[in-house]
Structure 1
Amino acid sequence: MTNAKFNWGLIAPGRIARNFAEALAVIPDAHLYAVASSNLARAQAFAEEFSGEHALDDYQLLVNDPAVDAVYIANPHRFHYDCIKMCLAAGKPVLCEKPLTVNAAQTQELIALAEQNKVFLMEALWSRFQPAWRQVREWLEQQKIGEIKLLSSTFGVNVPRNNDDRLLNPELAGGVLLDMGVYNVSMSQYVMQQRPVKILAEGVVGETGVDERCSVTMSYGEAASQFTCNFMSNTENSFTIYGSKGFIRIPGMFWVASQTCLQLEGQPAEVFESPFRASGFEYQIEEVMQCVRAGKLQSDIISWQESLTTMQIMDEIRSQVGVRYAFLGE
């Protein structure tokens, strides 16, 4: 497969999937082979726009196609579990949008299935693969800012009020934590490389029953990560890592970072910039392709255990805030 085209199947050609398809165009050996949607016309239009070979209105047909090397899943996270399970049962490697599932129990079950069937599975937390965030990791490993003391981040967008929208719909696992806060949680874990010892969370549960604001402190002993995510106001949306010798700041829209800044005490700032080659999805796509070709079942950058820990943390936050999903039997 190394010297051949890597054939991607894409499930759910919506807005996020466009970023994926744009990124494929800058990876020489990546190919959009098939697109599947519940709406055939939508699949056909997407395939035509991004030079996909096949358009289908049946996910199972895509998954069963022996020419598909891996599947990218981009539908609402309420449906991730079923789609991933379908792919793993068919032996198809999976890259699935964040959050991987709706709760930790679902994630645990899928990890067990991936291990049993010896199939690659990865959560599409694209920020971890971006060059700017890889530079952050390098600075941390070099202990440039000394001991980490505090992480501070926000992810807030003033979302137009529409109770029928997916973001506010409890039947679609709506709520700000799973949609936006997953970045605050996952990137805190990426920085700290350990499970928090204590979590304190509070928030606002709106009229539809989902979280519209979550304010959280995750304690890692002497260090802590404090973040707020919300649907109600536009916030700075930066991520700052404070250490004993200085700090690292990833500026606004930290989850889509092409720049980061290292500021040490008494020294001029060091700015790292790396514009994306395409949409920014290209880096995680390349990781999946390398892993699958190497016969790996999981990525070292975002392992199964890391995705599971993120889900366990978010389960605890939702519990403290008071958000429960009836379709899970909660």
Structure 2
Amino acid sequence: MTNSEFNWGIIAPGRIAHNFAKALTVVPNARLYAVASSNRERAQAFSQTYACNRIYDNYQALIDDPNVDAIYIANPHRFHFEWAMRCLLANKPVLCEKPLTVTAKQTQTLIELAKQQNTFLMEAVWTRFLPAWRQVSTWLSEKRIGELNVLRSSFSFKATRDDNDRLFNKDLAGGALLDVGIYNLTMSQFALQREPETILANGLIGKTGVDERTSVILNYNGISSEFTCGLNCTLENQFILYGDKGSITIPTPFWAATQAILRVDGEPECMIELPFRATGFEYQIEEVMHCIARGELQSNIMPWQDSLNTMKTMDAIRAQIGLDYPFV
């Protein structure tokens, strides 16, 4: 890595990777250097769109490229663990799409490996780094709505029915919880800074064996976080935090928030509007680069313990709703 350029590599240039590549264009000193895909034509098309220097038709070749400073992993959930592990073994810093892994045991393994290899690792929960959510965090720390009592959120949409798509594919760790419910959960943990004490969940398992709707009540020592995630209908998809003095509303889509509304004693007090500079992924990219420049192995905004807590909670939810994956 030079003082002037930070070379990113992308593993798996699918839908979400486009948001990452577009965001790189507004991050100072960052560039898309290499992309790897099992489909060379896809890698070629992606590299042409984003002026990428190198393309590879296998992931390991990208990992072995000495000019790659960090790797963004964007393949289906099932494969996150394997390829994050391979990156860490090669001492390549990792930003891996959520969920970091499929189980808490896998996440713990990656954390221990990152420590052993002295190599940066972060789950790519872009929502935590958005300016609107950073303002929400400030309001909470200032006790603007008093003591938190209830969190309510939803992330549910009517997905196009395709049993081979990763959303419905059990072999790829599909389903609503891991794909979208993780946002409800990780942002609850972001607000409350701890694991829930108790978990109550119910879900609808569809014909392909994945959850097409999951509803959860989490108890954080008297504070309740209630959410529904799903693939079979569209809900309000906002996130509301209720305190004893007021509330904070993050309008739909809360996971891609550009607004937040603070109400005190039932009256609107402040509404902030903070649009993205690009796709919104730029803020987590900058965090990774800053952490690596400072020699840090993890981010204090998206620390390893939070990723582990999220996975432990999702393991418990999956057990309650009868969702298992054959490869773990």
**TM-score, with normalisation over the residues of structure 1?**
0.98
Structure 2 distance, partners of 1:9, 1:24, is 11
Structure 2 distance, partners of 1:142, 1:120, is 31
Structure 1 distance, partners of 2:296, 2:266, is 45
Write the letter of the residue equivalent to 2:95. Answer: L
**For the Cα contact (< 8 Å) 1:133–1:257, is it kept in 2?**
yes
**2:273 — aligned with what?**
273
**2:12 — aligned with what?**
12
Write the letter of the residue equivalent to 1:45. Answer: A
Q: Deviations over 1:110-145 (max 9, x none)?
A: 111000000000000000000000000000000000
Deviation of residue 164 (structure 1)? 1.9
**For the Cα contact (< 8 Å) 2:154–2:239, is it kept in 1?**
yes
Q: Residue 86 in 1 paired to residue 86 in 2?
A: yes
**For the Cα contact (< 8 Å) 1:19–1:279, is it kept in 2?**
yes
Q: Deviations over 1:85-126 (max 9, x none)?
A: 110000000000000001101101111100000000000000
**2:175 — aligned with what?**
175
**For the Cα contact (< 8 Å) 1:2–1:293, is it kept in 2?**
no
What secondary structure does 1:224 align onto?
Answer: strand
Deviation of residue 267 (structure 1)? 4.0
**1:27 — aligned with what?**
27
**1:126 — aligned with what?**
126
Structure 1 distance, partners of 2:177, 2:206, is 13
Deviation of residue 326 (structure 1)? 1.1
Write the letter of the residue equivalent to 1:118. Answer: N
Farther off after superposition, 243-252 or 155-164 = 155-164
**1:151 — aligned with what?**
151
Deviation of residue 266 (structure 1)? 5.4
**1:216 — aligned with what?**
216
Structure 1 distance, partners of 2:92, 2:221, is 40
What secondary structure does 2:241 align onto?
Answer: strand
**For the Cα contact (< 8 Å) 2:246–2:266, is it kept in 1?**
no
Structure 2 distance, partners of 1:149, 1:172, is 36
RMSD, aligned α-carbons = 0.9
Q: Deviations over 1:139-159 (max 9, x none)?
A: 000000000000000001011
Q: Residue 310 in 1 paired to residue 284 in 2?
A: no
**For the Cα contact (< 8 Å) 1:240–1:248, is it kept in 2?**
yes
Structure 2 distance, partners of 1:2, 1:154, is 43
Write the letter of the residue equivalent to 1:215. Answer: S
Q: Residue 225 in 1 paired to residue 221 in 2?
A: no
**For the Cα contact (< 8 Å) 2:238–2:251, is it kept in 1?**
yes
**1:96 — aligned with what?**
96
Structure 1 distance, partners of 2:309, 2:216, is 16
What secondary structure does 1:111 align onto?
Answer: helix
What secondary structure does 2:151 align onto?
Answer: strand
**1:65 — aligned with what?**
65
**For the Cα contact (< 8 Å) 1:156–1:229, is it kept in 2?**
yes
Farther off after superposition, 225-234 or 264-273 = 264-273
What secondary structure does 2:201 align onto?
Answer: strand
What secondary structure does 1:188 align onto?
Answer: helix
Query: What does residue range 97-112 of structure 1 map to in structure 2 within 5 Å?
Result: 97-112=97-112
**1:248 — aligned with what?**
248
**TM-score, with normalisation over the residues of structure 2?**
0.99
**2:115 — aligned with what?**
115
Q: Which runs of 4+ in 1 moved over 4 A?
A: none
Structure 2 distance, partners of 1:305, 1:146, is 26
What secondary structure does 1:92 align onto?
Answer: coil
Structure 2 distance, partners of 1:297, 1:266, is 42
Deviation of residue 35 (structure 1)? 0.5
Structure 1 distance, partners of 2:88, 2:129, is 23
Q: Deviations over 1:182-218 (max 9, x none)?
A: 0000000000111110000001011111111111000
Aligned length: 328
